[in-house]
Amino acid sequence: MFSRDEARPLTIREMEEARSAEAMVGRSVAGQAATYFLAKVFNWMAVGLGLTGLVAFLMTRSPAAMQLIFGNPLLFYGLIFGELGLVIYLSARVEKMAAGTATKLFLLYAGLNGVTLSAILLMYTGASVAATFFVSAGMFGGMAIYGMVTKKDLSSWGSFLFMGLIGIIIAAVVNFFLKSPMISWVISGVGVLVFTGLTAYDVQKISRIGAGGIMEQGEGAIRKGAILGALTLYLDFINLFLMLLRFMGDRR
């Protein structure tokens, strides 16, 4: 038989405190899931960047390979369009492919990017490339941290940054024919702003995916989500690096 105190219903204040405690626990669990998912994304991004750097370095050690790729415009542009196709295919079909396939396609893209970007190591001095890399890493890291910790909703940045990205692509295509140094400098300046902003925007978006329940969907879904997130941040970093290199790079 229950005592009067045991049978007493909860007061409104007690119910509010209970709901508040449940909400705090939920936020804590979601925060841990987001952190764990982001760690996987950044790990795969680092693997992709490392592979790109390794392939680029090995390419510079093989004059025959460099001549084969850059002495044959058809092959070079074929690789460029092949990379673009890989990004589009992986982004559009990742949900329907096996996790292992998604991983292999990401690594294939990172390797091909190393091939096409290897010319940078011959065009610019090693010191300027290294300096640009570290500056890019610092800017990327700062904006990534901002995207993780800010309470501000960055989703409103999306349309603005997307329009900026489209503008960069159109201007780059036009300048491919005009070959204007001034337009190239403007593209680079705008590109630095756009890809810096995209870093914070994408990190916050990926963090929300991690907090939204993907960690409960099994290893396959986690791996595919991490690969897609890694590809997104990899592209942000590479493009930020290339834009900064036009300002900081010293040609040989």
Residue 160 within any structural domain of the chain:
yes
Other residues' Cβ atoms within 10 Å of the Cβ of residue 236: 24
pTM of the model: 0.88
Tokens of 150: 């800010």
Residue 235 within any structural domain of the chain:
yes
Number of helical (H) and strand (E) elements in the chain, helices listed first:
10, 0
Q: Are 114 and 55 in contact (CB under 8 A)?
A: yes
Per-residue pLDDT of the chain (252 residues; tens, 9 = 90+): 444 445 556 566 655 554 654 444 445 667 799 999 999 999 999 999 999 999 999 999 999 999 999 999 999 999 999 999 999 999 999 999 999 999 999 999 999 999 999 999 889 999 999 999 999 999 999 999 999 999 999 999 999 999 999 999 999 999 989 999 999 999 999 999 999 999 999 999 999 999 998 988 999 999 999 999 999 999 999 999 999 999 999 998
Question: What is the predicted pLDDT for the residue at 237?
Answer: 98
Cα gap 120→56, rounded to integer Å: 9
Residue 12 within any structural domain of the chain:
no
Residue 15 within any structural domain of the chain:
no
Closest by Cα among 239, 129, 131, 137 to 188: 239
Name residue, tokens 């941290």.
145
Residue 74 within any structural domain of the chain:
yes
Cα gap 68→78, rounded to integer Å: 13
Residue 115 within any structural domain of the chain:
yes
Q: Structural domain of residue 68, as residue ranges?
A: 23-248
Residue 7 within any structural domain of the chain:
no
Tokens of 100: 């292992």
Residue 5 within any structural domain of the chain:
no
Counting the structural domains of the chain, the total is 1
Cα gap 203→147, rounded to integer Å: 5
